Amino acid sequence: MLKSLSKPISYPGPIVTIVMDGVGITPRVEGNAVAQANTPTLARLFKEYPNCLLKAHGKAVGLPSDEDMGNSEVGHNAIGSGQIVEQGASLVNQAIASGKLFQRDAWKEIVGNTKDRNSTLHFLGLFSDGNVHSHIDHLKALIQRAKQEGVKNVRIHILLDGRDVGEISALDYVLPFEKFLSEIRSSDFDAKIASGGGRMNITMDRYEADWSMVERGWKIHVHGEGRQFASAEQAVTTYRSEQPVIDQNLPGFVIAENGKPVGAIQDGDSVVFFNFRGDRAIEISRAFEEADLKAFDRGRCPKVCYAGMLEYDGDLHIPPRYLVPPPEIKNTMGEFLTASGISQLAISETQKYGHVTYFWNGNRSGKFSDSLETYLEIPSDRVSFDERPWMKAAEITDALIAELRTGKYRTARVNYANGDMVGHTGNLRAATIAMEALDLCLTRLLPVIDSLGGMAIITADHGNADEMYEIDKKTDQPAKSKDGKIKAKTSHTLNPVPCIFYDNQHKDAYQLADLPERGLANLASTTVNLLGFEAPGIWHPSLIRFR
């Protein structure tokens, strides 16, 4: 339970945390949808209200290095827990380097099943070094260890990225990897790429937004049903020659020899999904593990020994077998607030609903208190978000305003997905519209918070829409392809994110604290201070100090 401040300030209305997903801050205007958009409300907020910048990438959110882009999962973990917890990539790096991964029962079961049945070990996952969902070095380490332990046959099913790395960078990974495989092959060890496709076309759906993606991936990887090619290189180059498509949207493909797939998944095989991030790993894991899956007709469903790199959902135990234990994030803001009797609202659309609930609560499914917490999900559109860049921002705002006006909540949190999801399309014009839609929603929402006697912390979880062009590191100018067109950037950024204190009740009662560094993990302490409580000592310090 939280301890009350000796001299708390009191708000009649709610403390509302507004997460503008994918909205970073950088002085560069070219290719910057955040800067180019017509956002009069945000401009006024920066001018008239206390604000600062927060680190939202790298070590500030538990990632291995400051070269690592932040993401919505680690960002919401940090915001919701007040702590910097070593995240998936770091956990896997340590588990491989120490050898602990290979000492755990899960790995032993995967290898043992393969050897006992003289079957094939399949690796499936995002094929890049983006370090957001996966890292190709982890895949290589697992393949090398499998060979050392006597596995005879390995097949790799690659999901091409183009989102957390360059949008047409697939061959930068495929060609060196083929060389790696050629060097590791031997008379008693056979390893080949078996299938693949773009991450936004097959397999990697999340939040049950589009199960047909998983179904397409299932047919490609498991059944070996799809357009056949002699190699992954041939598949990529052929698809690119036929249509202007970036890596994340490449259709599925099957590698075949003499007209037969080289790596369809069979009864008795072992399968490792090597992504460490959970949101886009859960559905394919369910497809392999769930006996009565109703989301799509799997047809032939082989009995395999399946493992994820991590446990992607700790409460639903998806999957039951995993190679590296997940970070245990305890003492989160949600835990403390419910223990202290504080009513809470969490709301977003499908694409980010899990972030204001599961990830906010420290990778925990469900509520801490049914009576004190309300979670609302607005169904997302099932189209490419550059076609409807406003997404469900208006509907979220409608529902949020209605809930706040009930007077039931001391605090609320909302995620607007526009900056991130539209930013990922690489469409600068759509991203500026996304920002303008978001600004309009703030224009509607903030007066309601005022009328209720509340305040808002307006922030973000990482950057994205702030850099819609790839930048040439040599020239520091937008990078161009051979045809002279500017290369679109579809990945997150390393830029800091805003933190604005919209407060017309007590803005003179506090000021920004003089901290050596400010990051997302400072927001939990800040929030509970504004609610009238001392922050737990295990959290990072508050961004404010009272006058």
- Structure-block tokens of residue 449: 């918070």
C-beta separation of 368 from 335 below 8 A: yes
CA distance 471 to 468: 9
C-beta separation of 65 from 129 below 8 A: no
Residue 316, judged by CB atoms within 10 A of its CB (0-12, 13-18, 19+), counts as middle
C-beta separation of 274 from 134 below 8 A: yes
Question: Is 525 annotated in the active site?
Answer: no
CA distance 135 to 126: 8
CA distance 300 to 225: 12
C-beta separation of 122 from 193 below 8 A: no
Number of other CB atoms surrounding residue 387 within 10 Å? 11
- Structure-block tokens of residue 215: 């179904």
CA distances from 99 to 96, 140, 270, 323, 461 (A): 5, 14, 20, 11, 33
Active-site residue identified among 72, 128, 134, 343: 72
CA distance 114 to 93: 24
CA distance 423 to 395: 20
Per DSSP, the three-state class of 18 is strand
User: 205-243 burial by CB neighbour count: b if 16+ within 10 A, else e?
Assistant: bbbeebbebbbbbbbbbbbbbbebbeebeebbeebbeee
CA distance 307 to 289: 9
Q: State how beta strands 228-229 and 471-472 pair.
A: unpaired
CA distance 45 to 34: 14
| Residues with active-site annotation | 72
